Amino acid sequence: MSTVTRAAVEATLSGLIDPNLNTDPVSAGCVRAIDIQGDRVSVDLELGYPADQFKTGWAQMLQMSLQQIPGVAHAEVKIKTVIQAAKGQADVPTLMGVKNVIAVASGKGGVGKSTTAANLALALAREGARVGILDADIYGPSQGIMLGVPSGTQPVIRDQKYFVPIQAHGIAVMSMAFLATDNTPMVWRGPMASGALLQMITQTAWDNLDYLVVDMPPGTGDIQLTLAQKVPVAGAVIVTTPQDIALLDARKGIEMFRKVNIPILGVVENMAVHICSNCGHAEHLFGEGGGERLAANYGAELLASLPLSMAIRLQCDGGEPTASADPESQIAMIYQQLARTVAARISVLNRESVAMPNIEISED
């Protein structure tokens, strides 16, 4: 009988690529323990991103590969998730009750930024993370409607100081819309709006969140700069359409985040293609390949490309975004992969800022 060695186990693990990290578990530093007892092998992996919809299949794939090693009669792979807190920018205080802040931004309105933010938050929660969403679009808050929060809902005040966020679809939600009536426009100058938003985000009682998704207002003005400079943002997701004018504005958003040293996690392209519901003909109404070119020009990744879909619009208008309304649909699966990829990119950034623990190896 062949003797099973640590080198053989590591070599096998090294030959399999985690699609969320784009690397193998050994190179990614995910291996926490390898235990070899005769013809039995046990491996413990630790992921830095939530993956409830992925890790069972991933463990089975790894086990099947390990059982192909000569001399191995049985293999077991255990996977757990440990989400680290982002280090954040220098001189920016941590946000109480939040490990990682994800900014979802766009250079202009109407590109589906809020829809992306809502579905990203819900998909992260479905992967097992504790998630909140902050509607930072002061002048046009929409997350309350998208997440089905009844009109007129207001947060409870704790200790005469903190807002208790509203719960919707299993995530914590906070919006300026909860502090004003539906028919009251925010007629504020930039510094006033920035101050109000900063107060709202820092005085909300976030309850030990792994991720806070911030639905940013469109553009690159006072509010965006205030958040970028005063809140420890782990990374930004840029939302655009393939349309040339949207891409031009998206570039400005990327440049803004770069100037304040916030990592660009990638680009999401909305309304990439329209599929006729009658004949199935595909048509690129707003251009083709724009998001991919934008990502390539800035050395970023195209995280997702989503169609122009009536279902997405109807579900958000109905208060239950696609990731929650139809979680097994093809579009929802795109959002799930987006969530895992975004969280995985953050985990890599967080791992690079801290020392990794040693791997434990035991052999009989």
62 and 177: one domain? no
Q: Which two tokens stand for residue 307?
A: 């169609």
Q: Which two tokens stand for residue 346?
A: 């953050």
Tens digit of each residue's pLDDT (9 = 90 or more) over 214-270: 998 887 777 778 887 888 999 999 998 887 677 777 888 888 888 888 999 999 998
Q: Which two tokens stand for residue 199?
A: 């107060």
214 and 343: one domain? yes
Query: Would residue 250 count as lying in a domain?
Result: yes
- pLDDT for residue 16: 96
199 and 322: one domain? yes
**Three-state DSSP class for 242?**
coil
| Mean pLDDT calculated for residue range 154-170 | 92
73 and 105: one domain? no
Contacts of 16 (CB under 8 A, 6+ apart): 24, 25, 61, 62, 65
Q: Which of 30, 47, 82 is the last residue of a domain?
A: 82
- pLDDT for residue 135: 92
β-sheet bridge partners, residue 362: 35
Q: Which of 49, 82, 115 is the last residue of a domain?
A: 82
Which runs of consecutive H residues, i.e. helices, occur in 43-112?
A: 55-66
Q: Which of 51, 82, 113 is the last residue of a domain?
A: 82
The domain in which residue 41 lies consists of 6-82
117 and 183: one domain? yes
Rounded to whole angstroms, the Cα distance separating 227 from 244 reads 27
Which region among 65-69, 101-105, 165-169, 256-260 has the lowest average model confidence (pLDDT)?
A: 256-260
- Residue 288: CB atoms within 10 A of its CB come to 13
156 and 275: one domain? yes
Rounded to whole angstroms, the Cα distance separating 159 from 170 reads 24
- Which DSSP letter does residue 211 get? E
In the predicted structure, residue 284 carries a pLDDT above the cut 70:
no
b/e for 179-190, b at 16 or more Cβ within 10 A?
A: eeeeeeebeeee
Query: Would residue 91 count as lying in a domain?
Result: no
C-alpha triplet 347, 13, 4: angle, nearest 5°: 140
161 and 77: one domain? no
Query: Would residue 88 count as lying in a domain?
Result: no
134 and 22: one domain? no
- Which DSSP letter does residue 237 get? E
Closest CA to 347 of 85, 94, 155: 85
62 and 106: one domain? no
Note the pTM of the prediction, 2 decimals.
0.90
| Mean pLDDT calculated for residue range 133-153 | 88
Rounded to whole angstroms, the Cα distance separating 79 from 59 reads 7
Count H helices, E strands: the chain? 11, 16
As for how many domains the chain has, the answer is 2
249 and 298: one domain? yes
Backbone angles phi, psi at 92, to 5 degrees: -110, 120
